[in-house]
Structure 1
Amino acid sequence: MTATILFVDDEPDLEALILQKFRRQIRDGLLTLMFARDGLEALQALEQNPHVDMVVSDINMPRMDGLSLLAKLQEAEDKKSTIIVSAYGDMSNIRIAMNRGAFDFLTKPIDFADLEATIQKTIGHVEMLREVRRRQMEAERAHASLSRFFSPEIARRLAADVEGSMEVQWRDVATLFTDITGFTSLVESAAPQTLGELLNEYVGGMTEIVFAHEGTVAKIIGDAIQVLFNAPGDQLDYATRAVACAHDLDAWAEDFSARWKARGVNFGATRIGAHAGPALVGNFGGNRFFDYTAYGDSINIAARLEAANKHLGTRICVSASIAEGAANFHGRPVGDLMLRGRSEPLRAFEPLATAKFESAATTRYSEAFAKMEAGDAAAMPAFAALVGMHADDALAGFHLRRLLNGAKGIRMQLE
């Protein structure tokens, strides 16, 4: 490294003396020296030569003294490491200089061995600061680049190279799966340009909501999105985040569908499933690719709860592990689902907004569900009355059809 030093002093013989003392370092390309006669001239030199690494300045000079120059240097965005030269014993000015940010000080008459040692120490400090800034800029560039492709938390960890944070490990996570009804038909019928605009807007909007809840987008496959909470970083409230995120995704998707319907495109409803449990989480992409995702039974359950919405008529279906783990969960029971590949039933819930949860209709549903769970024959007329008052209640209609077809209780097999 060639260090560029600006000497600021009004003594006429100083420049020749300094050049003589440092001639070897100048010849070997280790130092480049510049000179100014006062603070104003120094500021002009720095403006024209921003690459200057350090400043060595006397205090007593015409027009602008060294202490005023030091104050100006500390106001600049690129603060220059400054050595202040003062008369021997002038502790008052030395104290002021150090308080104003001087890196070090020397006393007159200058001991050139001391000057050389102080310059070397300052150059080491400058190199350290330069390396810190370089690493910070590299990390910022890496984060900006990675943020185009990964969730913010993953991008931050990759940019910072957090040791072990991407390795495969067992973690308790909350998983969301989203999918769109009738998307295959839409792909076959929509013009490519329309489909591209549609899907990009949809995925972009959905992922922004996930990021707002600090979730991790693990996979995007066509119209389907897999989201993780409590991975890669710890989130003690991961179930609560999952429920809040599901509500916001549902509201945004409904608005999105309505906007595109007004443009003549029938975009299907978005269905969401959520479950919490242990999963293998980490980078499964090998040495050549990066694929941060999760595997395990709990991941499969979340995917099957998403698919269960199709039969239930709901848009969001979550497991008991989500409902019990989320703070102030508002929802109504769906029943005990016998999901494909599982021998034990899974209690499922439909999350509800606060207003709907506190409505009379939800109270009637809960009463009818309790009768059905108890095997009470009054469950059928209770659901019939509910559907009569709220024909748009798809879940109540689902249970009424089950009861009319001879089903009993709340356990149900879904294909």
Structure 2
Amino acid sequence: MSDDDITILAVDDLPQNLRLLDAVLSPRGYRLVTASSGEEALAILPASGADLVLLDILMPGIDGYEVCRRIRSMPGFEFLPVVMITASGDQEKVRAIEAGADDFVSKPLNQGELLARVASLARVKRYQDTIQRQSLELAAWNSELEGRVRAQVEELQRVNRLRRFLSPQLVDLVIDSGEEGFLASHRREIVVVFCDLRGFTPFAESSEPEEVMGVLAEFHAALGELIYRFEGTLERFTGDGLMVFFNDPIPCENPAERAVTMAVAMRHRVAELAGGWARRGHDLGFGIGIAQGFATLGRIGFEGRSDYAAIGSVTNLAARLCVAAGPGQILVTQRVFSATEEFVVAEPVGDLELRGFSRPVRAFDVAAMTSRAGG
């Protein structure tokens, strides 16, 4: 801010004094706004753009002390530099400081002293303006940063919620599109894979909790990698078991083939893990059940905690087949077998009586995938 940018409000009831101030200050580049009374000064101050006030003390109406006190009580003008013009001695100077004045000059005016006082307080005003501007800029930056952080936290929470049950590919799709409408409740045909460990309950009863958690961590890590690879939707963990389905929330080609291929890969991977568990004295097997049918799907839960779930008899059927499966068995329904018989080697196991189902369920035991199988 240069002198040309400094506006001074000069307040004096004598016109000749105002003319004198103008003659001294205007040639130095200061812009002068004048008021002939304290009342007029207070009225024009808010719109004057004043950076500094030169205020005579002795005026009719309200005097300079009262004007200064009122300026100090006006919002936004608490730190406006005020220079009192006094004609007497130390007592008036003390009262001027008590009223809130920043400085004072004596009458008759000394031109050099006046210019020095004005220049000094103009510098102070520049610093105040700079600090205020930087404070406003900082507040704006902080507000923008808070908004960005809030948006990033919300996005992170949103992504974390999705990652609980969607594959990374689907999460990326949601993030790129910004669309979560397909997570709303709807009906669709899906293929459900339910699997768990055989012998887990006696193992958990006879082992230390740390050992149990270690086995589960290995088990879940191995299966989780395969779920992601085959782009399955993980509905839930149930201790030593988990449930995955295909063809939702994003439809996929050949969901039955993809489900069976994943199940065979899971069986192979868990067999490798079981070898290590056996060397540590843990006798654990692995069984899988797969069923195909219609279900109602969508996000369930409450604010702050939700899951993506499939509701329908197809999920119960997969779970019951899993229970019926022996160690190393993958039991599938007739429908799943019919959709994959070109790609699997399977043997019928007959009609199974499954809890919760009034009629027997024909099932097949998948031994292997043929070379034509995908995945």
Partner in structure 1 of residue 335 of structure 2: 321
Q: 1:302 aligns with which of 293, 298, 318?
A: 318
Q: Is the 8 A contact 1:240 1:327 kept in 2?
A: no
Q: 2:283 aligns with which of 263, 266, 284?
A: 266
Partner in structure 2 of residue 10 of structure 1: none
Which whole-Å deviations, capped at 9, do the CAs of 1:81-125 have from their partners, x for residues lacking one?
xxxxxxxxxxxxxxxxxxxxxxxxxxxxxxxxxxxxxxxxxxxxx
Which whole-Å deviations, capped at 9, do the CAs of 1:118-163 have from their partners, x for residues lacking one?
xxxxxxxxxxxxx99x989975785368536754335753785424
Deviation at 1:243, TM superposition (A): 0.6
Larger RCO, structure (CA 8 Å, separation 6 or more)? 2
Q: 1:157 aligns with which of 174, 180, 194?
A: 174
Counterparts of 1:339 and 1:265, CA distance in 2 = 29
SS at match of 2:182: coil
Counterparts of 1:164 and 1:243, CA distance in 2 = 29
Which whole-Å deviations, capped at 9, do the CAs of 1:204-256 have from their partners, x for residues lacking one?
11111111100011010100100011111111211110010000010011111
Please give the residue correspondences for 1:185-200 in structure 2 after superposition, counting only pairs within 5 Å. Answer: 185-200=202-217
SS at match of 2:181: coil
Please give the residue correspondences for 1:133-172 in structure 2 after superposition, counting only pairs within 5 Å. Answer: 143=159, 146-147=162-163, 151-152=167-168, 153=170, 156-157=173-174, 161-172=178-189
SS at match of 1:291: strand
Which whole-Å deviations, capped at 9, do the CAs of 1:346-388 have from their partners, x for residues lacking one?
221111224799xxxxxxxxxxxxxxxxxxxxxxxxxxxxxxx
The TM-score with structure 2 as length reference comes to 0.54
Deviation at 1:325, TM superposition (A): 1.8
Partner in structure 1 of residue 227 of structure 2: 210
SS at match of 1:331: strand
Deviation at 1:203, TM superposition (A): 0.9
- Residues 1:229 and 2:246 aligned together: yes
Deviation at 1:322, TM superposition (A): 1.0
SS at match of 1:303: helix
Per the alignment, do residues 165 and 148 of structure 1 end up closer, same or farther by CA in structure 2, a change over 3 Å counting? closer
Q: Is the 8 A contact 2:277 2:283 kept in 1?
A: yes
Partner in structure 1 of residue 263 of structure 2: 246
Read off the aligned partner of 2:355 and give its amino acid letter: R
Partner in structure 2 of residue 345 of structure 1: 360
Read off the aligned partner of 1:325 and give its amino acid letter: A
Counterparts of 1:198 and 1:181, CA distance in 2 = 13
SS at match of 1:347: strand
Segments of structure 2 that go 5 or more residues without pairing to the other structure are: 1-128, 135-146
Read off the aligned partner of 1:229 and give its amino acid letter: F
Please give the residue correspondences for 1:389-408 in structure 2 after superposition, counting only pairs within 5 Å. Answer: none
Q: Percent identity?
A: 31
Q: Is the 8 A contact 2:267 2:328 kept in 1?
A: no
Structure 1 segments, 4+ long, off by >6 Å, are 134-138
Deviation at 1:261, TM superposition (A): 1.4
SS at match of 2:351: strand
Deviation at 1:263, TM superposition (A): 2.7
Counterparts of 2:208 and 2:261, CA distance in 1 = 34
Deviation at 1:286, TM superposition (A): 3.7
Higher CA-based Rg: 2
Q: Is the 8 A contact 1:142 1:159 kept in 2?
A: no
User: What is the number of residues matched between the two proteins?
Assistant: 238
Q: 1:276 aligns with which of 289, 292, 299?
A: 292
Deviation at 1:328, TM superposition (A): 2.4
Per the alignment, do residues 200 and 150 of structure 1 end up closer, same or farther by CA in structure 2, a change over 3 Å counting? farther
